[in-house]
Amino acid sequence: MIKKSMYRRDRVNLGFVKIGDLISANNFFSHDISSLINPEQRFFLMSIINSIPTEWRSLIKASTDVTVAGPIPSIPTIKMASGNVVPILDISPKQIYKIFLQQKQIAPTAKQKLTNKYSNIEIDWEKVYTLAFQCTLDTKIREFQYNILDCINFTNEKLNLIGVVESPNCTFCQEATESVEHLLFSCRITSNFWKHVLSWLRDNDVHVGIINEPDIIFGKFDIVKDYILINHILLLGKY
């Protein structure tokens, strides 16, 4: 609430941008502004101040910038990613939406975890996050891939920690802890599965080369021919 604008143009043009602009030094409605407003505005502003607990008013007043805001420009502007400020009418709604997304985006916590885990490779996160949408229309497969990227797949390793299963070992081989990486790549059962998939692809003149653990987790990006097809099959295989 401390930083929330009032969103009333007539008030803002008078210099009242934040609630703290209306509060006097003794935490009541500031009478210094009475000469600037009409009775209807005074009643409205006083009702706002009176609705705020006294102890909150001190915090609000302390955090308010003493600089008086100027009138809102007749033509709103927006700051581009390049740093240039341009009239909002000169850019498309799509560009505006992209700017707002950039301001609101918060990187998933799993992103840093995976970056640290696979620090020996350079991960193009834009390609990683868009791959599932490029390669399949199946929403369940897309969801499964994003669960992998967000590290929220409940394997036996996690289920054992919360007491759902007795053993953290792999469901298929029973030889190692069932992490996502083990389940999708290093398990001997899974490894044999991928060998058969690669053999089948070669028989159909689709050459993938070697696949490694990051290829399975993120997608295979070092190919040009049959890029969509190969990654679609990898998504299907994981799911």
Tell me whether residue 220 is in a domain.
yes
Which domain range does residue 80 map to? Answer: 75-105
Task: Tell whether 122 and 221 lie within a shared domain.
Answer: yes
CB count within 10 Å of CB 22 equals 22
Q: 169 and 198: one domain?
A: yes
**Assigned domain for 1 exists:** no
Output the six-digit token pair for 118.
Answer: 């696979």
Checking if the pLDDT of 217 tops 90, the result is: yes
Q: Are residues 185 and 93 in the same domain?
A: no
Residue 73: pLDDT band by 50, 70, 90 thresholds? low
Say whether pLDDT at 52 is over 80: no
Q: Which residue has the higher pLDDT, 79 or 34?
A: 79
Q: Is the pLDDT of residue 229 over 90?
A: yes
Alpha helices (H) in 69-210, listed in sequence order = 93-104, 109-117, 125-135, 139-149, 156-161, 180-181, 188-203
Same domain (yes/no): 59, 79:
no
Q: How big is the CA angle at 203 (ends 198 and 207), to the nearest 5 degrees? A: 55
Of the given ranges (44-58, 88-102, 120-134, 191-205), which has the lowest mean pLDDT?
A: 44-58
| Mean pLDDT, residues 53-74 | 59
**Residue 28 reports pLDDT greater than 70:** no
Whether 231 and 185 map to the same domain: the answer is: yes
Using a 10 angstrom Cβ sphere, with 0-12 exposed, 13-18 middle and 19 or more buried, the burial of residue 1 is exposed
Distance of CA 116 to the CA centre of its chain: 19
The per-residue pLDDT for 51 is 73
Question: Same structural domain for residues 36 and 94?
Answer: no
> Is residue 79 domain-shared with residue 23, that is, in the same domain?
no
Which residues, including other chains, have CB under 8 Å from residue 98's CB and lie 6 or more apart? none
Residues 6+ apart with CB under 8 A from 189: 172, 173
Is pLDDT larger for residue 75 or for residue 95?
95
For residue 2, the model assigns a pLDDT of 43
pTM of the model: 0.58
Tell me how many domains the chain contains.
3
Q: What DSSP state is assigned to residue 172?
A: T
Statement to judge: residues 113 and 223 lie in one domain: yes
In a domain, 68, yes or no: no
Whether 3 is in a domain gets the answer no
- In this structure, the answer to whether residues 100 and 113 fall within a common structural domain is no
Within a domain: 91:
yes
| Among candidate residues 77, 100, 101, 79, the one with its CA nearest the CA of residue 89 | 77
Q: Flag the least confident range among 9-23, 35-49, 160-174, 193-207.
A: 9-23
